[in-house]
Amino acid sequence: MPKRVVIVGGGLAGLAAAESLSARGFHVTLLESRPRLGGRASSFEDKTSGTLIDNCQHVSLGCCTNFRHFCERTGLASSFRVERELNFIGTDGIVNRLKSTSLPAPLHLAQAFNRLSYLDSRDRVALARGLSALAKTDPSKLNGETFDVWLARHHQTENTVNRFWHVVLVSALSESLDRIAVAQARKVFVDAFLAHRDGWTVQIPNAPLDELYGSPLVAHLERQGVVIRTGAGVRRLVADGDRVIAAELRNGESIEGDEFVLAVPHYLAASLLPGNVADSSAVQDLERLETAPISSVHLWFDRSITDLPHAVLIDRLSQWMFNRTMLQAAIGRKDPRHYYQIVISASRELDGTPTADTIAAVHEELCEIWPDARAATLLHSRLVTEHRAVFSVTPGSDRFRPRQQSPIANLQFAGDWTQTGWPATMEGAVRSGYLAAENVLTRDGRAEALVQPDLKRARLARWLLGLS
């Protein structure tokens, strides 16, 4: 008889585990406390505008091979716009288009970096040296150094720090440079920019996230026999001896299973676990994982303020602009209002700032960059802050991330916070779900690799930078 797997948490980690295990004949029940799937990558209804908006724009990169695999498996891959050209705008207002030349990695972006209008020749030399040194660095020998210290040791100019390293890393890792571990910074640059030509390309969902992780995904999973129960908050996992036997819902109902996957955020995991596991050092260490906030400002204008689909904004409070109206027009959605989303990662500096002031500051920046915004009427705006958006990639934080195999044999952990080698991303979440599913398969006597290989590193990158 096929085994029953109970998965607690309908974020991408739980969804990836559900997809892969149901495809291999397990009877999967997915329990999600909220009314919608998607977890931290989800949407909600903005009552004033009457539209479904994302808690924050999510993007994926070319190097996110498992997330892409998951989207392909579930039929979601066509819901993304792939950007092979990124628009970087400094305070000089010039739109710098970052795109590859025909050179192989790691040289494919050298010309684009070399032409950034807001870096001078001294900055460019420092940057080229810094990138090469970072690729050749062995972070395990750095004894907990933070990335700002590493940058200073490698003579990076103020401009490269503020207008390049900060720009890329704060959006990729949602942390400030003084809190980022060198290993995680290196991973971003190697995987996304240096090892493969396509690692940096950006995939942006055309539709709100709920239209991806909502009905299309539910339909796919249900076709594979997954029983999806939203609004089904789990109060605790019930153990009998050294086995978990059931997930007890908040309404008292008990969902029995043979194998369990706990895929809730790290700060909730301990509260659902049987006492002896909650007390184990692997789980206690989770409390030491810190978190970082991400904010997004949503603005609706009566007219277009820019024809760009997106922009990376340098030396501003606003970090990324996404032209949601333009993205949705690509899938035939028409809206007389023009909707833009501004993302501010690692947004601690907004703490204590009145919402109206933050929105006004962002609005003013848009007017400075795109003068058409001054003539436009701002119809509606709102600020959304996810205070515990991601775990912080501080030096040593990897030590606090448990493996997927929990101390109880028939219980797996899944979530971006488990040991995946990745920061808190959709890729990390999907990887964790696949790793948890691999363990379930192994326990069932049918070991199979589900985690997808990374992009193959270019030969020149391996030779020039010593990448293995």
Using CB under 6 A, list all residues that contact ligand FAD.
8-14, 31-34, 39-41, 55-56, 58-60, 233-234, 263-265, 268, 272, 294, 386, 389-390, 415-416, 424-429
Three-state secondary structure of 185-220: HHHHHHHHHHCCCCCCCEEEECCCHHHHHCHHHHHH
* Closer CB to ligand FAD, 258 or 416, in the complex: 416
CB 292 within 8 A of CB 390: yes
Any bridge partners for residue 343, and if so which?
A: 296, 320
What one-letter code names the amino acid at 76?
A: L
CA distance 176 to 182: 12
* Closer CB to ligand FAD, 174 or 306, in the complex: 174
* Closer CB to ligand FAD, 126 or 411, in the complex: 411
List for the chain the helix, strand, coil content (%; round to 5).
40, 25, 40
Shortest distance, CB of residue 436 to ligand FAD, whole angstroms? Answer: 11
Shortest distance, CB of residue 344 to ligand FAD, whole angstroms? Answer: 10
CA distance 173 to 320: 14
What one-letter code names the amino acid at 467?
A: L
* Closer CB to ligand FAD, 55 or 405, in the complex: 55
Shortest distance, CB of residue 31 to ligand FAD, whole angstroms? Answer: 5
Shortest distance, CB of residue 291 to ligand FAD, whole angstroms? Answer: 10
Cα angle: 349, vertex 350, 351; to 5 degrees: 90
* Closer CB to ligand FAD, 34 or 81, in the complex: 34
Shortest distance, CB of residue 225 to ligand FAD, whole angstroms? Answer: 20
Report CA-CA distances (Å) from 208 to 47, 403, 416: 15, 32, 21
Could you give phi then psi for residue 96, rounded to 5 degrees?
A: -95, 120
CA distance 192 to 14: 26
* Closer CB to ligand FAD, 56 or 326, in the complex: 56
CA distance 348 to 344: 10
* Closer CB to ligand FAD, 56 or 435, in the complex: 56
CA distance 278 to 298: 39
Helix (H, G, I), strand (E, B) or coil at 389: strand
* Closer CB to ligand FAD, 130 or 428, in the complex: 428
CA distance 63 to 456: 10
* Closer CB to ligand FAD, 387 or 459, in the complex: 387
Angle between helices 12-22 and 426-443 (to 10 degrees): 40
CA distance 215 to 23: 18
Shortest distance, CB of residue 372 to ligand FAD, whole angstroms? Answer: 27
Shortest distance, CB of residue 459 to ligand FAD, whole angstroms? Answer: 28
Shortest distance, CB of residue 230 to ligand FAD, whole angstroms? Answer: 9
CB 173 within 8 A of CB 180: yes
Shortest distance, CB of residue 190 to ligand FAD, whole angstroms? Answer: 17
Shortest distance, CB of residue 269 to ligand FAD, whole angstroms? Answer: 9
CA distance 433 to 396: 23
* Closer CB to ligand FAD, 20 or 156, in the complex: 20
* Closer CB to ligand FAD, 235 or 462, in the complex: 235
Q: Hunting for tokens 């940096």 — which residue is that?
A: 200
Shortest distance, CB of residue 60 to ligand FAD, whole angstroms? Answer: 6
115 dihedral zone (left: phi>0; alpha: psi -120 to 50; beta): alpha
Q: What are the tokens at 45? A: 């209804």
CA distance 332 to 340: 17
CA distance 159 to 166: 10
* Closer CB to ligand FAD, 56 or 98, in the complex: 56
Shortest distance, CB of residue 146 to ligand FAD, whole angstroms? Answer: 22
Q: Hunting for tokens 């807001």 — which residue is that?
A: 118
